[in-house]
Every structure is written in structure tokens, then in C-alpha cells.
Structure 1
Amino acid sequence: HLTDFLNKTDRFAKTIVFCVDQEHASDMRTALNNLNSDLVRQYPDYVCRVTADEGDIGRGHLSRFQDVESRSPVILTTSQLLTTGVDAPTCKNIVIARVVGSLTEFKQIIGRGTRVRDDYGKLWFNIIDYTGSATQRFADPDFDGDPAFISQEEVDAAGKTTNERIIDDGLPPLEGEDKGPIVIDEAPTVEPRKYYFDEGHVEIASHLVYELDPDGKQLRVLKYSDYAAEKVRTLYPSAPELRQKWANPAERSEIIDKLAQRGISFDELAETAKQPDADPFDLLCHIAFNAPLRTRRERAQRLCEERKDFFDQYGPEARAILNELLDKYAEYGTAQFVLPDVLQVPPISERGNVIEIAKMFGGSERLRNAVNHLQTLLYAA
């Protein structure tokens, strides 16, 4: 179906496919390579997988994908690695091939397509949601604006469209016509997701984890929080080591990706622990090392009180933006500030565009350093 869509639109439109896990991303790459063999012969990197396993090779694929002058790679398949912090200005298709678990994750995913490059004809992008879960649960016109066109298709096992319904054609209603609210049909129930690691796999069902051996035989059943604590301690044996890595934005992103590959979700942990206001790092330390819990607002307030020198080195406008970033962290619990995404939402966006905001800090590099330092100081104690 995706190949047919590209054939009908633009086979060289940059596309990111978000898959269930690294294995799924590999299978997706193979299938797309086979279905586009004519272009793969000419462009061997027409479809590439970019996940944690690829290392420097994957980063090379990503760098060429981001380059507006490079024609290939055209399609990237990934699991968690590209949900945040990737600037792909000419990406025209965001393909969701896995269930999206939260509003924050959904906004991070579609953020890969929101870049505008009018000099390259990039003024819009498509969201192709094969699960139906994301667009139905997290559509937010007040934040994202109204989509120009919405259709819903049913496809068979071969990927052929068997039924198509136009939900919103994007045209204004005729005089006297009331289109009513936009309704997208409920997606079918999704089977529990499986995570493969260390030659076994686990399956999340409610708040219990069933751990299986490679032959599918059940080894043990344990609480989700106990399972998460065990995996955190395996990856990071002590709280100081976890804190040191978490304070670095690049290493924090790697931690989040590793935990996601093992089926560990911050939203699920917060729900299990009944701590919706807890900071993600504090939540990990609490379940894994029995460390005391802090709320996000407590961390933000402590930073403001104890590190006034950090804020005083900036002018009033820059300080106001840093304080608004802290407010967003305290309210929504984002594990990582992603530039320029965090600058493009109210109330920060009301202070100007990204270039104008960067000038308040003395340039884009100083802006990036300030935001990274802010996150580091949040976890300094």
C-alpha cells in the first residue's frame, strides 16, 4: 500500500516509517526494497534502516537523508531512534506502522514532518497511520491546525485498497451545509506487543510481564515495575551512573531508546506507580534503587532557587524563555527538550520565530548550549 501511494504521488518524496521495533524495521526495509527493486538497482540506499543497531552506518544514512541536496536515501525505517531531535526539512511522508502510546510521542513523531522548506516545495506533509490509533486518539486541531485532507482506507493482506472514505476534503462547507464534527472510525483492537532481547522476549499485558524463553515457554511472571527495575539495574548498575548519563542530552536519548526496546514506557511506569507528576529520571531511580521521588515541579523550583547565577547570565527575554521551558517540563514531563520543536509551541512561539529567539541568546549555538545546560542542571542533584 505504501509503495502504491508513493507511485501515485512521488517516489522520491522523503519518507520515515515508524515501526514496532528494530526487527520490524528490518523486515519493513526488506519488503520495501523488494517492491521498489527498479529504483534500488539505481539507488542501492533507496530504503535504509536507521536504528540503534546500525551505529555509525545508520548515522551516515540519516545524514544523507537530512541533506536537501541528496536524492537518496528516500525511505528510512526506524523504531524509536528518530522520534526526537532529527531535523529532516524535506520529509513529506510520516508513516506510522506501530501503536503510538501517548500524545507526547505522537507530537514528536509528526514533528519530523513539520519542517517547511518553500525553496524545495515543502509546504505540507502526509501522515499515513496504518494503526488508526494515533490520528484518532491524538488529533489536536488547536495545536496542530486543521488537516487539509483526511481519508480513511481499508486494505487487504496484499495492501490493496478495498474501501476508501473521504472524511474531510478540506474545502469550506457550502452555504447552509453543516459538515458536523470529524469522526474517524475506531481502530481494531491491537494484540499485545512483543519485545525481543537476550534471545528471549516479553509481552506486556496490563501491569504484569510474562517472561518467555526462546522456545516460547513461560519462565516467570512479575510485576511491570519489578521488570522495569530489573532492566534498569542491568543497564545501569548504580543510581550515580544513571544520573551521570541522564544529565547528558545525547546519552539520555540513548537511555530512552534502550528502555523502549525493552518495552519500558515512562507513561506506563508513572501509571503503575501512581505518580503522574514524577520526573522520568526520578521514577527510574525510585523503582530501581529505592531513591526518594521528586515531582517535576520540585526539581524546577529547586533549580530556580539554587542556580540563579545560571539565569542571571542571560538577558530578560532569554531568561523568560528558559523559565517557560521549565514550566513546560513541570507541567508535561517531557524527558528531553528537542530544538527547534520546543520553540515552536505557545507560549514560547509567541516571542518570535526560531531565528528571532536565537538572537535573544546571542546566536543558535548559545541557544543550544543554554537549553542543554538547563537540562543538565535539572539533574545535577
Structure 2
Amino acid sequence: MDKKSLTERDICTKFITPAIQQAGWDIQRQVLEEFGFTAGRIVVRGKLHSRGERKRADYLLSYHKNMPLAVIEAKDNKHSLGAGMQQALGYADTLDVPFVFSSNGDGFLFHDRSGTGSQIETELNLDQFPSPEELWQRYCQWKGLHGQAQKNIEAPYYDDGSGRTPRYYQINAINRTVEAVAHGQDRILLVMATGTGKTYTAFQIIWRLWKSKQKKRILFLADRNILVDQTKNNDFKPFGQAMTKIAKRQIDTSYEIYLSLYQAVTGTEEEMNIYKQFSPDFFDLIVIDECHRGSAAEDSAWREILDYFSSATHVGLTATPKETKEVSSITYFGDPVYSYTLKQGIEDGFLAPYKVVRIDFDKDLQGWRPPKGMLDKNGELIEDRIYNLKDMDRTLVIEARTQLVAQKVTEFLKASDPFQKTIIFCDDINHAERMRQALVNLNPERVAENRKYVMRITGDDQEGKAELDNFINPEERYPVIATTSKLMTTGVDAQTCKLIVLDQHIKSMTEFKQIIGRGTRINEDFGKYWFTIMDFKKATELFADPAFDGEPVVIYAPEGGDSPVPPDDAIEGDGITAGVGPENDPLDDQEGGSKRIKYFIDNLPIYVIAERVQYYGPDGRLITESLHDYTRACVHKQFASLDDFLRRWSDAEQKKAIIDELAAQGVMWEALAEEVEKKQGQPLDPFDLICHVAFDQPALSRKERAEQVKKRNYFARYSGAARQVLEALLDKYADTGIEHIEDIKILQLDPFSQIGAPMELVKAFGGKAGYNKAIHELEDQLYASEISA
């Protein structure tokens, strides 16, 4: 047998798997082959999308099902023993495993990240692969787990037999937390981006600690009633009869798992403090969902509960740890034991990417000064000063501005999908109501179909609040548009929300992250893969702040204590009015406890002076330069010259491979086509888009290229069905582009299906090889003038 002729899969089957098995690994229970651990990043192409490649480890080895220990990266035998090591080390970083192997079938290169061996890298023969027990003991040595602590982390996950298992980052978060508890750590923080399954992660943590009897009585605290109910009925359902929800009444101490809205166990009167019916040492684990909301503040109701149960282990969950001078999640809980960011979630394909539509108005940017003695519509004398963006809807209400925001939102919905779930964040309840009215009047047909097409969902409106469940339910069409202030900022699982409108002054990074999180969930069943942010108040400038997706910085300054000097871009407040619970919105015009003066003007015109679209780039940053310049830079990174591009294009087995490669590097094909075609007037091929944008060549439309081929009488050499197919393919190219004609499945569609069955059509070319050859020749003809020049 010539080893060099074997494929990578053959090397795995014939050499690597037998070596692992011989070392004592249970292939069914302890070994996962071709373990895909990401979903593949979503690449948006106008109204279409595609997924990038999933990351796959050739082998993932676990001692216990829930404890990954090692990855193995395999290569064919033409590669060296260590050729896959760097790739494997990248996977090991992501999967949080200490032992890394690379193999070409001759043996293994072993990289020990744990520091428990005599050297970092060692070459091993096929019969020297370590046993499960050896790696497990080295893992425990690395983690400092011995005796009872080692037994404590061995408790399995909950498995209902459905095949649902935690994602890799949830496994990391669960294991890090369980290990921290085993080490006796009593304050633990987990930071996970919105939409990444914090509640399911919390359930698995609690399940393992409960089943191993490390923690016998557990309290799960959340800040919204809907979250407590969702948790009880969904992720926590397996706890069954051991679980109860605390209400404002006499409590029953016979349960083991308690869920509570924190408002339900606190009150201003001593007798209302239900939690004091429990003894201080009753709970040995408290899990605080959305812990940025109040538990880290010394004077909060949450903190009062946590201080009472101070002997318990406290685990805080949040997407946005809060770090201000007054409040510090990290000072209370410690540094996060694990973080999974929005950027990583988008990169892995578990969270939805976004584009930003930024719209600027003249009065916002240029400012406006009232004529002397001007009265507003209510007869109030308007203070003589310059009003600009920071005043809009807070100090100065220009009714035409509200109308123009509503108009731009309506135009966007009509041009894309008028029934895409939309949240409009306003400055206060009054603003949310004005926005609702403007949208109702701009969408009379939709409102006539159903009065709930637009709803104000704010804390003061019972009917609006009652529609919150329907808004977030993917099965319910109405409401479509929700205008709100603070109520929907956090904890609202709006899986199908495709449009987020920011007409609110947002200065708090915590609040901004929470708002953006309303759109980051993916729901493939309902076609939700990405979302759009429309920004009218420059809120998206916070994307450029390092704090948006970076490590939180502690700037806590307790009264009378020392603290680091806050950086210039330190986060301000949390934007949530003091004393207002998360179940409510801030009441209308209150600010700092005093009535804010607000002027209403009904006769001042407003105009759009700038409108631009920004895209989420491959590096996680918004692309702020022109799409033309950005594309040019992307292409020049891949191709040194026009000749280089033409050569690669000509040599490519499939042009789609180059198109996808450039998409992965950040080329926004649909957006670019839309921009260029506005000037050209006709649809362009990706080939022409690149030649024109990156190399300043004149562009031919797809139709012009197709006509050139017809003039050359290229089809004369074919007859019958083969000629009909090629002529139809050329027409398809003119209509839809090069990618579609490269896919053999096109033969199942009209007009090909009218010519004959796919198998018959392929036979007309003498078989599949002949058909593929004809497609390549057709492509050569399409690009003949440039390629041959």
C-alpha cells in the first residue's frame, strides 16, 4: 500500500482511529470524529445570505462526555507529522482543551499546553498515544483538582435523549463555572453575548451541581416576570417537582430549586421581604440572571438579597457587565471565568450580523436657534439658545422630525418587508406615543388590516405590555412595529426582530449592547439571519468604542475609597432612570427628580442631509469608508494586479470559488452590485464588478457579454438538446449571473426541464465530463476578450 496515495480520510480510518482505540479510548463514548463546533459565519448578500465553512476538528477526545481533553488534526501522508499543529492549536484555544495532536498517519506530534509534561512538544509513534486515564490525570493536575473536587466535576450534563447538547462555548462556560465551584470560589461571573443561551447554560450548571449534591438548594433570580416564567416552562422544565416559583405569599421550604422575580422577594416594608422567611443559610447557590441590572450596586434591592444569603455561592450571568464609578460587576463577582462576545458569536455563525443605516437631519447637525420671543405650540416661551441633536425629543420636540423618522422607517419596510418585526427605541413614553401615531398615519392600509400593526409597548400602557408576548412570538404576525423607551431594552427574546431603530440618546455602553442584542438572535425557521440598525441619533458611534466588544475596565469609585482614574471614554451611567424597575419605563419627562422643560414645535421643517449604509466587516468592525474603496482594498490584498486576477479567474474550475473567497475576505457582492449598477444602469457580473471597481476597467453588462457570445456563433458546433441547453444557459447567465449556470441542479428548472430530464440533457454532451467541459468553454467565451488580451 502506497501511504502517500491515501486521502486524509483514509489516513484517519486506517491509522489514526486504530491507534486511538489501541490506547484504550472508547470510540463510541469518548471520541467524536469530524466534530463541527461552529455554524459557519453568515455572509449577507443584499437580500440573500450564505454561510461560511464550519470549523471542524478531525477528532475531539473526552474522558467524560462533558469534559473535552484533546483535539487531533489529521493530514494526508504527503504532509509532515506536524503540518496540522498550528490549525489544531487554534481549535484547542477555542475548545478550551490542553492536549493537542497532529498526525499524518506515521505517528503523532503531541503539544502539551498544560505544562504537566517534561516538554511542550513530543513526537510519538502510533502505539504511544496516551490512554484516557493518563490524559485525565494530567488534566486534573493542570486544573488543580484532587480528591472530592475531582469527583465533583465529573457529574454529567442533563441529556433528554433528543440529541441536544451544549454548544462548545456553553461547554466552556459550564465547565469553567463547575471547576470554580469545585475550587471553592464563591463569587463567579459569566459574560455571554445576548442570544447565546445564557439560561440554558445556567440550567446545565445548576443541574450538574445539584445532581452531584454539591449544591442542594438553589435560587435563580431574574428581573422580569416573563423571564422567570419562560425559564420555568422551558430550559428548567427537567427539574420538575423539585422546582417552584416564589410569589408574594407564605413560602414553602420543601422545594430544592426556587425561581423568583427579584421584585417578588423584596419590599419597602419589613414584612414584605419574603426572602427573610428563609434562613440566611437556606440557599447554597444563587444564580443571578442579567446581573448587570442591579446586583452589583451596593444600594440595590438585589444586593440586599445577596447580602442576606452571603454564605451561598453567587453566579452572575450577563451580556454586559456594568462598570461605572457607582456600580461594578467585577468588583462584586470577580473577573469573568469565561466570556463569549458578540463578535465571536457572529464569527462562529451563532449570532446574526448587521448593517447600519445612518441618517442625519439638518437641525440635528447644524443646530437651530429660535427667533427672539418665539412661543412653542403650547404657548411656552422658548429659551434663546442653539438647539442640536442632544436636545431633540428631550428638550425640543420638532414634530416634523418625528414624522420624518417614521417616514424613513416606513420607506425601508415597504422596500424590503413590511412585516419584519421592528423595534423603535425612543427617548421616553411621550416620544414613543408620538412615533406610534406618525407610523399609524403613514401605514393606513396595514393598520386597516390589523390595528395592532403598530403598538406602543411601554411600562405605563397595559394593552401595549399585553402585546409583548405576541411581538416576540415568531408565530404571531402582529404587532409588527413596536415603539418603546426602556421596556424592551433587555430580556426580550425577539428572535425574529429584523429592524432596530435608534431614535434615542444612548450614552451607556451597557444599554447600547442590550439594545443591539435585541436583533442578534438567528431564527432559521423564519428566515432571520441578519438584521438592520437604523440610527437617527448617532448612537452607533458607540460601535467604534473599544469597550463595545472588549474587556470591561473597572472604574468603580466607592465613596471615600480609592479607585483607578477612569479613562476618557469611561461608560456613563446605565441610562435607566433611578428607582425605575425593569418592568417599567422612565416616566415621560422626569430627569434627576425634576420636571424637564420640553418645547413642542409644529411648524419647523426638517431635511435629511446625509444617509449612508455601513456594513459589518470580516474583522468585526463597521465598514465606514465607501464600498468602492473598501472593495478595491479587499481585492488588492488577494490579487497583486489585473493580470493576476484574470489568470486566477481563467484557471478556476468554478468561478463561484473565487466569488466565495472574496466574499469571505469581505467583498459585499450584492451591496456593491447595487451601488455600481445604479450608475451603470444594467446588472453586472462579479467579474466586471472587480475589473471595474478594483482595476478601473470599463464594465460590460451580463447582457452585453451574452450578446457577444451569440455573435461569435459559438453554438454552431453543437446541435439538438445540447445546443438548446447552452442557449438557455446563456440566457440564464444574462438574467442571474455566473454562479447559477455552474450548478448542475439548474437542469431541474425551467426551461431546461421542458427540453428533457437532467440525465438526458447531460447525455446530450456525452456524459458529465462532456457537460462540464462545455460549461468551461462557455465561460471562456464569456470572458474571451479580457482573458486573451
Structure 1-normalised TM-score? 0.48
Higher percent of residues as helix: 1
Structure 2-normalised TM-score? 0.25
